[in-house]
Amino acid sequence: MSRKLWAALGLVMGLGLSASACAQQPAPAAPPTPNDYTKDENWLCRPGRQDACARDQTATVIQADGKASVEAFKADPNAPIDCFYVYPTVSSDPGGNSDMTPDLPEKAVADQQFARFGQVCKLYAPSYRQVTIAALRKVMMGQASPGDGALAYADVLAAWKDYLTRDNHGRGVVLIGHSQGSHILLELIAKEIDGKPVQKQIVSALILGMNTPVDPAKDAYGSLPLCRKAGQVGCVISYVSFRADVPPPATSRFGKVDQPGMRAACVNPAALAGGSATVKSYFSDRTIMGTAMRPATVWAKGVEVATPYVELPGLVSAECVSNGAFDYLAVTVRPDPADPRADNIPGDLLVMGVPLKDWGLHLVDVNLTMGDLVSVVGTQSKAYAAAK
């Protein structure tokens, strides 16, 4: 596949657009059968199970002087709030929409992007019939796509309604999504949450790897303000990430929106009020969004990493910036020749060894600030409980 085709495919995948936005779909033979989310097997993750969100999150922490320690991980089975997660475009199924049997990429991305939140919330993640990579590839090859974005949204909506009826019991909940998952959550917020009674139960919404349109004068998505201070609840954190020295090219759709007068939201989880701050990243050589890291990263010379995750304190910082039409999280790696640690981080989508600049660091949007996101949600949980 040509680099140009991959770039176009990456654009559509990253935006989480339904295939109908790009090509006319053939008329379906019959309406798809709705999913029954009262059946636990239709959930990728639920509390109390050994599932995709119960993977080991232990990390090796490597300091600038090369000293390493192990950071243990323990989920809280009695967490006072819930988290509801919609995963990004990763399905390797051959059809236009995925089936309801999670494949390796779907399980792996929940491990990468969601399992660590088990420290601060109970984890709910529905399986859903998302538009697949295969469907989007057909679109970019000029073929009619069998993918159905409306079906993907309908599944998540059904799961959300089941969660509210069967599991929520008035608890606070954090919405978490990435890419296609974030696209679906923005629609869910607009149609089912904003201005509705359930809005008072939204602790926050983490809309990651997605262009969230906001009115700069209101600094809000609909009536949900952006999170700008610690302990603020009922707010939104959203960003797309690029290397600071490789900003989005003019052709990129990440970091800008089409609506006149609107800007793409950018909230730095490590500095809610703005400015640059060191981020607490958790990197891994496990599968990232279904894309294996090859070769395995040497995180530090002379340090053997036996844990699933690695943390490199002080190596990476980030700041929300506005650059022309673009708003994004600018990520800076600060290598030190005397530092035995890696001088760079993974996250670029490579085609024949060349990074696709349109993507930025989309593959690790969530990994980049994972520690900060978990910390923010933990603080929000306490504030939500206190206010209640």
Q: For every one of its 388 residues, what pLDDT tens digit does the chain have, with 9 covering 90 and above?
A: 333 333 333 333 333 333 333 334 445 557 889 999 999 999 999 999 999 999 999 999 999 999 999 999 999 999 999 999 999 999 999 999 999 999 999 999 999 999 999 999 999 999 999 999 898 778 767 887 788 999 999 999 999 999 999 999 999 999 999 999 999 999 999 999 999 999 999 999 999 999 999 999 999 999 999 999 999 999 999 999 999 999 999 999 899 999 999 999 999 999 999 999 999 999 997 655 545 555 678 899 999 999 999 999 999 999 999 999 999 999 999 999 889 999 999 899 887 888 889 999 999 999 999 999 999 999 999 999 999 8
Q: How far apart are CA 372 and CA 200, in angstroms?
A: 24
Q: Please, which residues have CB within 8 angstroms of residue 386's CB and are 6 or more apart in sequence?
A: none
pLDDT score at 68: 97
pLDDT score at 135: 83
Q: Please, which residues have CB within 8 angstroms of residue 128's CB and are 6 or more apart in sequence?
A: 35, 86, 98, 152, 155, 156, 159
User: Token match 């869910």: residue?
Assistant: 188
Of the candidates 146, 125, 150, the residue with the CA atom closest to the CA atom of residue 137? 146
pTM of the model: 0.91
| Concatenated DSSP letters of 241-255 | EEETTSPPPTT--TT
- Residue 355 has a CB neighbour count (10 Å cut-off) of 15
By residue count, the chain amounts to 388
Q: Answer whether 214's CB lies under 8 Å from 189's CB.
A: no
CA distances (Å), origin 213, targets 187, 254, 266: 12, 12, 10
pLDDT score at 10: 38
177's enclosing H/E stretch is strand 173-178
